[in-house]
Amino acid sequence: MSEQVDLTTIPISPDGDKSSDKAPPSELNDKFITVFHDKDNFNVKHPLQNNWTLWFTKPPSGQGASWNDLLKKVITFNTVEEFWGIYNNIAPVSDLAMKSDYHLFKEGVRPEWEDPQNKHGGKWSYQFKDKRSVDINDLWLHTMLAAIGETLEEEEDGEVMGVVVNVRKAFFRIGVWTRTIGKSIPNRGDGDVSGGKGRSVDKGQKILLAIGKRFKETLKLSPSETVEFSGHTDSAHSGSTRAKAKFTV
């Protein structure tokens, strides 16, 4: 996982099949054919709204291993077809070793609290404690699709930074990282007005709660189950990813 995936070896269809040359090139060039029309012969890709980078955290091999040693960038992609190709060629969550993580973040954002685009933010998360009764692969897939499909928030919100899944001995945990904790954040002077600049606290909190509700629906949780939101700063101060919840849905 430490080296970038060679896209020439990746099947680029939801079924995992490689494109072939069954149809003559001239025929393919005469009309637009997508992977959804013909999974074997297509000449059009579907761009995503944002570029996304997949990261992997490998389990520590001993004491003293730093976060930077464990965190590895896998690949950056920006089309639907590339996403499916990558997904079909990496280990499913259920096969990962304990203390492993997948992170899927917008390009240019590292999956860590200290990143400038994360330091004012937080995350929605849910722990699946009964690991044997949950299809974690399906839930993680739908969480990733919700992220890259931009369905967790409205287009102008600019909150969602990425999604993460943690594999632990006692549970699986899936989270959605946001740029803010519902408050307006300082203007960096770079022209970026997304993620809460000039936004009222009331509006910011409503946006976060809406993301939490969509996340809960993505995880197919019952109304009686609770998804929690906590700030990265609180987590850092507590020395744990399980800081006191600021919001719940």
Rounded to 5°, angle at Cα 14 from 158 and 95: 85
137 and 176 belong to one structural domain: yes
Residue 12: per-residue pLDDT = 40
168 and 227 belong to one structural domain: yes
Q: What is the CATH number of the domain that holds 108?
A: 3.30.760.10
16 and 133 belong to one structural domain: no
Q: What is the pTM of this model?
A: 0.80
From 90, 125, 146, give the residue that closes a domain: 90
From 67, 90, 113, give the residue that closes a domain: 90
24 and 138 belong to one structural domain: no
Domain range for 184: 92-249
135 and 228 belong to one structural domain: yes
CA-to-CA distance for 92 and 77, rounded, in angstroms? 19
Residue type, 140: W
pLDDT range class, residue 190, cuts 50, 70, 90: very low
Residue 66: per-residue pLDDT = 82
